[in-house]
Structures are given as structure tokens and as C-alpha cells.
Amino acid sequence: MKICVFLGPTLPVADAQALLPGAVYLPPAAQADILSALTIHRPDVIALIDGVFGQSLSVWHKEILFALHNGVAVYGASSMGALRAAECHPFGMVPVGEVARQYIDGRLTGDDEVALAHAGPEDGYFPLSEPLVNLRASLAAARAAGALDADLHDRLVAAAKRQYFTERTRDRVWAEAGLTDAEAASLDAFLATGSVDQKRLDAEALLVHLRSLITPPRPAPFGFNASHYFDVLYERDRRVAQGGHEVPLSEVATHAALHRRDFAEINAAALGRLLTVQLADTVGVTVDQEAVAAEIRRFCAARGLPDAPSLAAWCRRNDLTDAEFTTLATELAIERAMRHWLIPRRFLARTTKPVLNELRLRGLYEKTAGEAALIERVMALHFGDSGQQPKDTLEELVADHLAHTDCLMDAAPDAWSFEAGFKDVHDLRIDLMRAKQVRDLFRQLAEEAGAALREEEAPT
């Protein structure tokens, strides 16, 4: 069971590791961090304790709902975790601790109850102010112990609430409440040993609970409704791990645009696929599961992925979940279905002109046309107008052709020939035979020339 814990000023990581060894400890969560953790670490459980706000966008509810929707157990406690657990527990996020309970019950309402100023990660997130929930718990303990009366307790809580969270220190609260030197000294003496760090207690309770887990709870299913803004977060801001470093997905695409010579072709193909999928929806072209499965088989064959583990490893290297790969395969299947929809509508013209134009655009036309013209000339000189009728089976011709050329056929000959612009599979068989005849002739001429050269060079 893999657990990711977002932790910062509430509890030192070393103390947390003593309670829950083996977990992945991450800094306080900002927006897109939960989505990034899902991609990079693929956890079974996420424990949200600390999160950022103010200086960065806070972790978004939609991220938590997405994790829950995908079967990841999400717990919240202490700080940002308590806030989000109170808001998301109807969808299956698990609240732990007193702070979360008070938010759920409505006894706490303001975000500032758990907020504090703190140093950066290089200084261990050292607290620079005191969370109001901790002050409330400490003052309640002081009142219960008789270290302050009800009136002074209420004055202190009200004074603390008036302070902006970054300036909420004991000295400032004491001054705001108008404590005398004697009252301040008496209260400080009690808090030296009797203060309550409620946020830490809740965090420790969560970590201890996770340590006892054998199987994480499965969130109850619910409908997850994405939005344009969620898609932006998922498709652009989510980070992935490559080469030992993390990078937002948007930066990967930007790097390709700035550094790849073939980016124009990549971008055109990507947008073309997007347009094709949109057009398919307009004209009513759909694909079934078998079409998607066939597309996956072609995909794997073209990339030398012989089995499911190989495909899973490819997906991991390319930062795709199983569901995302299935979506990609579905898009490819729709794109192919659209080509099948288009080709018959061109009747006898089929794909010749668009293929030739693409060769021209890629700078391949002259070389390809020259090779085709040479084969046509050889056929006319040595085999007549049409050459011999095929004697080999189609399977034999295909195997021979693939063994001696750079051609790739990623589907059965009938399907491949249709997509490649042949009239039918018999038309493909004839052209394969013509190519084999020329290839055999060139090989024979080469062998004869080699024999003649060896004979000429042999000692007399």
C-alpha cells in the first residue's frame, strides 16, 4: 500500500516518519499537487495535512474529488487537510481529528483558524505565528486548570480572532487583550508545559491510523464532472517525473515547440486528430470496443510491445494511466474510422492525390516518384505491360516484401490495403508481385555482376 502525505509546519517530517515509516512525504499541497502525485507516485492513499494559500493557489476540491473518483482513499486532518475534509467528506474524503470535526460541526468556520506564517522548507517550515485552533485549545486547557477565568478566556479568544493570521503570536494577542504583566506571566507559566498543539495531535492521530491500515477504504462511486478549468489543470499544470526531475506537462509541449525541428508536423497531426474527432461527432461516426481493441493491437505491433506488461511500461514512461491510454486509443480508432468513412466517398480517386500532396509537403515526392518510375520502366522492359500473374500466395508475398523493404503493415492485408489506397486485396497482391519481380531481377543482376567481377579478378 503506497501512501503520500502532504506535510509542512504541522509536524516535522522526521517525527512523522517515526509514526508512519515508508510513506512518501511531500511538501504542503498547492494547486495541481494532488494531480501530480497521482501521476508520479500512483498512491493508494493520500493524506492531506498541510497546504499552501496566499502565496500560491490552494489545492483544489476538484483534485480531491478526482482522486476519490479514481479509487484513491483521501484523508484530511489538522490544517488544510481538515478544511478540505470538512468540505469533501460527503464524497468520501475521510476527516480525522478534532479540528476536522469542529469544521464539520460548524464550531469552526474561518480558514484563518488553521493558518499560520512559517519559514520555508530549507528551515523546516519553522512556525512564525500561532494557529488560532492551537490558541483556542491551549486557552481552554488553561481555563479548565484554573489558570484564567471565563472572562479573560473570552477576551483572549476575541483578541486572537481579531489578529491577522500572520501576526497572530502570543505576545501580540496578550497585548491586544490588555493583559497585565502579572496575568501574562501567569498564563505563560502555564502554557510552558500545558499548551495544546491540536494540529500536531490530529496529524499524529492520522499517521497512526494509516499505520494500522491493512486495506485502504474504497470511496463510494459518484459522478465526477470535469470542467474546462479542471482540464486545464490536468492537461497543463500537472507535473510528471522524467530524468529524476519534475516538470509541468505544459513545459514539455513548450520545449517541443522551441527545440524540435519537426514540431510543425507534430502540431499539425495533433490538431488534425482533434479536428477529426470533433468532426466524427458531427457526422455520427462512432467506434465500438472491438475497434478500440484492434487499434491497441496495431499500436503495440508498430512499437514492438509484445504483451500487457510491455504496454504498461510504455504507458508509465509516457505518463499515461490505463484510462488515459484507452482514451488515446479511442481517438486513434475514431480517426481511423473517419478515414474509412472518407475513402469510399472518393470512389475511384481514393487516396492518391492527398498522399502525393503529403509526399510533396514532406519533401519526399521526387525520390518516391523516381523510384516508382524506375520500377515501371524495368517492368516494361523485362516483364511486359503487366508482368506475370501472381503465383505466390498473398501471405508469401507479404512476408517477402516486409523482409526486404522498409514497408510496415500493422493490420491484416485486406484492412491495410483499403487504408493504403489499393482498389482491393487482389490489387495489392498484383503490386506485391510486381515489386518482387523487380527485386528478384535486381538481385539476379547483382549476383551475375559479382560473379563476372570475381571471374575477371581470378588469377589465370
Rounded distance between C-alpha atoms, residue 459 and residue 455, angstroms: 9
CB 85 within 8 A of CB 78: no
Total-model pTM? 0.83
Predicted confidence at residue 389, as pLDDT, reads 64
**Interstrand relation of 245-248 and 239-242 (parallel, antiparallel or unpaired):** antiparallel
Predicted confidence at residue 350, as pLDDT, reads 87
Using the 8-state DSSP alphabet, how is residue 237 labeled?
I
Largest CA distance in the chain: 125
Predicted confidence at residue 453, as pLDDT, reads 85
Rounded distance between C-alpha atoms, residue 205 and residue 236, angstroms: 35
Query: What's the grid cell of residue 242?
Result: 522524467
CB 126 within 8 A of CB 118: yes
Output the CA torsion sign for 209, 214, 33, 100.
negative
Predicted confidence at residue 460, as pLDDT, reads 63
Mean pLDDT by 10 residues, the chain (460 residues): 96 97 97 96 97 89 96 97 97 97 95 91 88 96 94 95 93 94 93 96 98 90 93 96 95 95 93 96 96 96 94 96 95 96 89 92 92 90 68 91 92 91 91 91 90 80
